[in-house]
Amino acid sequence: MTQVRFSADRVRSVAVLGAGTMGHGIAHVAAVAGCAAALYDVDPAAAARAVDKVRANLDKGVELGKVDAATRDAAVARLRPAKDLADACGGADCVIEAVPERLELKIALFGDVDRLAPAHALIATNTSSLPVAAIAAALADPSRMVGMHFFNPVHVMKLCEVVRHDRADASAVAAAVALAERWGKTPITVQDSPGFASSRLGLVLGLEAIRMVEQGVASAADIDTAMKLGYGHPMGPLELTDLVGLDVRLGIAEYLAGAIGPGFTPPALLRTLVAEGKLGKKSGEGFYRWVDGKKQ
């Protein structure tokens, strides 16, 4: 009988690389589901902050009666900031990368991960749009990499887009699907193509909404209300752009404009706001003003 190379059941210990918006959320869901999670970040303070952030989110869950105190305590006990990349990856059964959306950065990081992670480890990237095959090429064995695209905030959003590239081992894809389920997510499987399913479609709406603000068709708030009340979206495309980060959306639009076509060309208003440092919720202003994390 041939041995299945990768299995979600064998994942006990996870390394999360990049401890920002997505990294801390991925560590959160892994730890709640019973995995030990080591967080590595080039900025050691970010890894420590990420652990505090998960604890604060779980505290909020306990306050709201959604999480019991024992689950919170056990999850927090499974988290740790890693000293360095070797410390994070050394004992990992699964490595998930969530560093900024730059292909060369991810390729350089995975060159090191390849040496440091055990051969049995499933390797995943949380890229929102970059070609997974190009990132996987940094590994001696690209077949063990898949895309696991989580959504922000990870502990709340149910979707995980599992991205299958041409050289991926079928058991790596199946393991990623099962792991996402084990972590409380609903996985979908998508072929490796620019923007996958979610970013490609989501961006069409987001960019068109920005063009409509630019052309004075309606205010940001009214456009968002149109999609909420007219189409049943839980949040409008401009508020969502503020949550994701205008810089993040600009990066994806630039990439998709080259990879798919000019329909994704970033509107001038998006470029202007990013150049002015108006990046959305994280900077306090985007299409809305944000104070203490709340839309004004």
In whole angstroms, how close is the CB of 29 to ligand NAD at the nearest point?
Answer: 13
Position 250, amino acid: L
Residues 12 and 37: beta-carbon distance below 8 Å: no
291-40-25 Cα angle (round to 5) = 45
User: Distance (Å, rounded) from C-alpha 40 to C-alpha 23?
Assistant: 9
User: Distance (Å, rounded) from C-alpha 131 to C-alpha 122?
Assistant: 18
Strands 36-40 and 122-125: unpaired
Name the burial class of residue 175, with classes exposed (0-12), middle (13-18) and buried (19+) by CB atoms within 10 angstroms of its CB.
buried
Contact flag: residue 19 with ligand NAD (CB under 6 A):
yes
In whole angstroms, how close is the CB of 13 to ligand NAD at the nearest point?
Answer: 18
Residues 237 and 267: beta-carbon distance below 8 Å: no
Contact flag: residue 244 with ligand NAD (CB under 6 A):
yes
Strands 294-295 and 290-291: antiparallel
User: CB-wise, 206 or 267, nearer to ligand NAD?
Assistant: 206
Q: Choose the stretch contacting ligand NAD; rule: CB under 6 A; options: 39-47, 53-61, 205-213, 222-230.
A: 39-47
In whole angstroms, how close is the CB of 153 to ligand NAD at the nearest point?
Answer: 8
In whole angstroms, how close is the CB of 159 to ligand NAD at the nearest point?
Answer: 10
In 3-state terms, what secondary structure has residue 104? helix
Q: Which of 15, 27, 41, 51 touches ligand NAD by CB under 6 A?
A: 41
Other residues' Cβ atoms within 10 Å of the Cβ of residue 275? 10
User: CB-wise, 19 or 162, nearer to ligand NAD?
Assistant: 19
In the region spanning residues 74 to 133, those forming contacts with ligand NAD, defined by CB under 6 A, are 98-101, 105, 109, 126-128
Residue number, nearest CB to ligand NAD: 20
User: CB-wise, 9 or 43, nearer to ligand NAD?
Assistant: 43
List residues near ligand NAD by CB under 6 A.
Answer: 17-23, 40-43, 46, 98-101, 105, 109, 126-128, 149-152, 244-245, 248
